[in-house]
Amino acid sequence: MDFDALLYADFSKLNTAVDDWSDMVGRLKDLEEEAKSDLKAKALKADWTGSNADVTREFIEKTAGEFTDAHTQATSIRNILKDTRDELVEYRRQLKEAIERGTAKNLTVRGTGDGGFTVTVNVHPDRAAEDTGVPERSPQDATDLRDEIRGILKKARNSDTTAAKVLRALVDQSDYGFSDGYYKDRDSAAEAIRTAEKMAKIVRKGDPSLEELASLDHSLEKYADDPLFADRFASRSGGKETLQFWSNVTSTHAGARGDDLEMLKSLQENMSVTLATATQSDSIGMQRWEKEVMREGNTAFRGDPMKGLTGPLGLQVMSSLMGHGSFDSKFLDEYGKLVWEKDRSTALGPGHTKEVWENHGYFDLVFGKGDGQDPVNGFMNALSHNPDAAESFFKDKTHTEHMLESTKNTDRGTPVSRALEAAVTGVPHGGEVPAEPIPHSRDQVEIVKNVMHVIAEPGGEKLVDEATGESLGHIAAAYMPEINRAIAGRGAETIFITNSEAPNELSQSDAYRFLYNLAKDDDAYASVIYGQNIYTSSSIEAHIANPDFYDGTTKDAIGTIAKNSGIIEGVMANSRQDIEIGNSVERDEKTNKAFEQQGEFFKTVVSTATAVGAAALVPQTLAGQVAAAAASSFFAGTAAIRIDHIYEGRQMDGTDEAIYRSSQGFFNAEESGTKSIQDAADHALEKHDSDLPPDDMKNFIRKEFKDGWVNSDSLLESSTKRPSP
């Protein structure tokens, strides 16, 4: 900004722009609230099928999210404009005051017409008329005034140009829609960009010192979630340069210890989050960065030449920087194609994928947490933080089958199972659960169907271990409505109520074998027990509180629920008996630890008013409305009490044994299951003043659960290969 432009600036148009954007912020805030409370809420509860279920609900959810981003972006633009306007007004005031002080010292400041200015003496003392008073001044006064005005103009110019820079960067973040970056003023946005450009120089340097890496780590930690910073940092670093940088760092500092090691681990995490944030941008710079990363996927990036003649592939380097943050879905889709094609390139099948990635020399890209040679680990971690991308990837049945089978001979079991869990529940691993229940989509149910089939097939039991058990157990727990329907068979739809878009698609025989194989792992076993108790307890209460759900008798509905529960828990108990888990103290300790660990998880599920994968464990009517009983008591009533009893190891009446915790194994499990349902019914009958006789219901539940329990053995015999007695 030049002298005349600032001195004679008319800020009326800028004032109008600030006012208009302030009005826009207010209107968008109202629309955002309306979209969340009305549009999105109704879409989640709507009883849609077919294309409406698959397309319309997703479109509405994304549209509601766009209102939030629109409000955020409008607020940032308003804040930047207002901050810039206020600064320029202040600089104009300072300029006018400086000119006035110059006049008082016989100095005149004039614009030169080309953006510059001059400082001249009004009347030289030697030429002043006699008796004319000339203000006193020193020769230095003119120089000081010139420097002061230059400083004011420099600050005004910086305010003006950086405002334009950050506004363009903000708008360039998204080709379609809005940026979700919030900035309270121009300075904060401009500082983010300046810091990003400075940090990018460290990346491009190639051989930064530990001090420079520590500075980079500090800045990335501060700005990792800042969209302007992330975009500018990644795009200025360059895609190929980013890969070379990390290969150099991990090679040069291999074997780091102590504080240096912790700093490098922190740097890796913060790099991952920052790059994930950057991929959300649609700017030209980020498009170029993503293309470079894809293009260099099969390029070897040699690090320290003294440590080997080869280096990791670009895919291996990039995946080692994908363990944290939420990467853009489109980026993950394209990147996943490259990883997939490489991983399946061996003719020997998924059991030999490890060999595909170990032919490039030894290197450690992750500072000791494994070695980072298998890029599927990083890619799956990224999918576990982006449920939409995970669902998109696993919609392909061959992807599900290959990735699960490959866990037998690799260390990718935990990332793969977590990615599958995110895909079918809609909840990112370690992230916040949705405030609103999310119905299972048709695609999600199909993925679960494929997972169940792979696990149910001969040899599938080898896929369930300490690495995969927890997430597979969470998946089973989340899909208890669909599993219960599969086991009950046709005709029980109004008993096992849910808002799943494909509630009847799971295979009955696969369900038996799937649960049978899951029970071999302690975490999976505990998760299924918790999930089944949550769904069974709240289903019973839903029918007691709302007898109209089922046009038969409420007693019959409860009996069907109890029998199904007996089958499911019987299958699980038979599995644990078949593998001769035994009565060792060590086994009891492992089982108890699993129940405690999973109990913490499911207590969180209940306290946040959502299930694993949102509404999965909450009985809902076919119209998607939460049942009155569920709404009033599932989250703080019957099901929550059942979790507490299991978690706390409540003792059964007349025994010294805790439910589901006894070394008596098979027989204790039957008693535990029976008592759990009886207690749930007792609580619901009392709470809702039901006319059903408590003692009769308790005995009826006992008989139905027993019937299901006994049947579980014969059902397994006809569907599962079991060890001989």
In this predicted model, what pLDDT tens digit does every residue of 327-339 receive, in sequence order?
A: 999 999 999 999 9
Domain membership of residue 183 (yes or no) is no
The pLDDT of 273-286, averaged and rounded, is: 92
Q: What is the pLDDT of residue 610?
A: 43
Question: Is residue 363 within 8 Å of residue 312, measured between CB atoms?
Answer: yes
Q: Which segment of 112-116, 296-300, 397-401, 651-655 scores lowest on mean pLDDT? A: 651-655
pLDDT at residue 602, rounded to an integer:
64
Given a cut of 80, whether residue 257 has pLDDT beyond it is yes
Whether 578 is covered by a domain: the verdict is: yes
580 close to 722: Cβ distance less than 8 angstroms: no
Distance from C-alpha of 278 to C-alpha of 283, rounded to nearest angstrom: 9
Decide if pLDDT at 131 tops 70: no
The domain tally of the chain equals: 3
**Distance (Å, rounded) from C-alpha 410 to C-alpha 71?**
46
Q: Which residue has the higher pLDDT, 691 or 591?
A: 691
By the 8 A CB rule, do 621 and 496 touch? no
Classify burial at 124, counting beta carbons within 10 Å of its beta carbon; exposed 0-12, middle 13-18, buried 19 or more.
exposed
What pLDDT is attached to residue 673?
87
Same domain for 676 and 578? yes
| Contact yes or no for 342/353 (Cβ under 8 A) | no
Of 342, 357, 372, which marks where a domain is finished? 357
Identify whether residues 484 and 575 lie together within a single domain. Answer: yes
pLDDT higher than 80, residue 486: yes
Q: What is the pLDDT of residue 366?
A: 87
Q: Tell whether 246 and 305 lie within a shared domain.
A: yes
- Give the pLDDT band of residue 725 (cuts 50, 70, 90): low
Cβ(376)–Cβ(319) under 8 Å? yes
Give domain status of residue 390, yes or no: no
Q: Of 462, 364, 352, which is closest to residue 402 (Cα–Cα)?
A: 352
| Cα distance between residue 246 and residue 232, in whole Å | 18
- The H or E element that residue 419 is part of is helix 413-425
- 213 and 117, same structural domain? no
Give the residues across from 631 on adjacent strands.
none
Task: Provide the domain limits for residue 327.
Answer: 191-357
pLDDT of residue 557: 96
For residue 436, the tally of other CB atoms under 10 A from its CB is: 15
pLDDT for residue 693: 96
Percentage with pLDDT > 90 across the chain: 46
**Residue 485 clears pLDDT 60, i.e. is over it:** yes
Looking at the predicted structure, is the pLDDT value of residue 35 above 90? no
User: What are the start-end ranges of the E strands in 169-237?
Assistant: none
Contact 80, 167 (CB under 8 A): yes
Residue 595 pLDDT exceeds 50: yes
Cα→Cα distances 132→127, 135, 136, 151, Å: 10, 10, 12, 33
The H-assigned helical ranges of 35-138 are 41-45, 50-51, 57-104
- Is residue 617 a contact partner of residue 499, using CB atoms and an 8 Å limit? no
Q: Tell whether the model's pLDDT for residue 528 goes beyond 70.
A: yes
Give the lowest-confidence range in 101-110, 145-154, 168-177, 452-461: 168-177
Residues 316 and 448 in one domain: no
Q: Tell whether 586 and 615 lie within a shared domain.
A: yes
What is the separation, in whole angstroms, between the first and last Cα of the chain?
A: 90
Strand partners, 108: 120
Same-domain status, 195 and 269: yes
pLDDT band at 224 (very low <50, low <70, confident <90, very high): very high
Confidence check: pLDDT of 608 > 90: no
Q: Which one-letter DSSP state was computed for residue 614?
A: B
317-326, 605-614, 683-692, range with greatest mean pLDDT: 317-326
Mean pLDDT for 19-33 is 74
Helix (H, G, I), strand (E, B), or coil: what is residue 658? strand
Do 680 and 558 contact (CB within 8 A), yes or no?
no
pLDDT (average), residues 420-449: 86
Among 303, 334, 357, the domain boundary falls at: 357
Same domain, 208 and 168: no
pLDDT of residue 221 exceeding 70, the answer is yes
Residue 391 within any structural domain of the chain: no
Helices (H), 296-346: 314-319, 329-343
Model confidence pLDDT, tens digit, residues 532-583: 988 898 899 889 988 988 999 999 999 999 999 999 999 999 888 887 654 4
- Per mean pLDDT, which range of 62-71, 153-162, 492-501 is the poorest? 62-71
Name which of 180, 269, 164, 253 is nearest 210 in CA terms.
Answer: 253
Which pLDDT score, from 0 to 100, does residue 79 have?
A: 80
Side-chain half-sphere exposure of 50, counting CA atoms within 13 A: 0
**Closest C-alpha among 277, 270, 372, 271 to residue 326:** 277
pLDDT class of 717 with cuts at 50, 70, 90? confident
Give the global pTM.
Answer: 0.77
Out of 120-124, 246-250, 306-310, 540-544, pick the least confident: 306-310
Note whether 41 and 103 are same-domain residues: yes
Classify 134 as helix, strand or coil.
Answer: coil
Nearest to 460 by CA among 544, 416, 404, 414: 404
User: Is 16 exposed, middle or buried, given 0-12, 13-18 or 19+ CB atoms closer than 10 A?
Assistant: exposed
Note every long-range contact of 142-151, with CB atoms under 8 Å and residues 24 or more positions apart, other chains counting: 142/107, 145/98, 145/101, 145/102, 145/105, 145/107, 145/109, 145/119, 146/119, 148/98, 149/3, 149/95, 149/98, 149/99, 149/109, 149/117, 149/119
What type of residue is 55?
A: V
Instruction: Output 131 or 353, whichever has higher pLDDT.
Output: 353
What digits encode the pLDDT tens for the residues 644-693?
666 555 433 444 444 454 445 566 778 888 998 999 899 999 989 999 99
Q: What per-residue confidence (pLDDT) applies to 282?
A: 82
CA distance 289 to 236: 9
d(CA 212, CA 230): 18
| Model pLDDT, residue 39 | 53
Does some domain include residue 422?
A: no
**pLDDT value, residue 668:** 75
Query: Is there a single domain that holds both residue 155 and residue 216?
Result: no
For 253, the 3-state DSSP assignment is coil
Contact 89, 11 (CB under 8 A): yes
How far apart CA 640 and CA 388 sit, in angstroms, is: 30
Q: Is 656 helix (H, G, I), strand (E, B) or coil?
A: coil
549 and 577 within one domain: yes
Give the pLDDT confidence of 372-425 residue by residue, as tens digits: 889 999 999 999 999 999 999 999 999 999 999 999 989 999 999 999 999 999
- Residue 176 has a pLDDT of 44
**Residue 446 in contact with residue 505, Cβ under 8 Å?**
yes
Mean pLDDT, residues 181-197: 76
Asked if residues 525 and 571 have their Cβ atoms less than 8 Å apart, the reply is: no
Binning pLDDT at 50, 70 and 90, where does residue 191 land?
confident
HSE on the CB side for 413, CA within 13 Å? Answer: 17
Backbone angles phi, psi at 197, to 5 degrees: -65, -35
Q: Are 561 and 475 members of one domain?
A: yes
- Nearest CA to 597 out of 650, 638, 647 is that of 647
pLDDT at 599 over 80: no
Is it the case that residue 19 has pLDDT exceeding 50? yes
pLDDT for res 659: 45
pLDDT at 463 over 70: yes
Q: How many helices (H) and strands (E) does the chain have?
A: 30, 2
pLDDT of the residue at 626: 35
> Average pLDDT of 313-320?
96
**Is 80 exceeded by the pLDDT of residue 55?**
no
What are the two backbone dihedrals, phi and then psi, of residue 459, each rounded to the nearest 5 degrees?
A: 90, -10
Q: What is the CA radius of gyration of the chain?
A: 33
Question: Is 396 inside a domain boundary?
Answer: no
Helix (H) or strand (E) holding 109: strand 107-111
Q: Is the dihedral angle over the CA atoms 144, 145, 147, 148 positive or is it negative?
A: positive
**Mean pLDDT calculated for residue range 96-121:** 88
Domain boundary among 331, 357, 383: 357
- Per-residue pLDDT at 271: 98
Categorize the per-residue pLDDT at 346 as very low, low, confident or very high, splitting at 50, 70 and 90.
Answer: confident
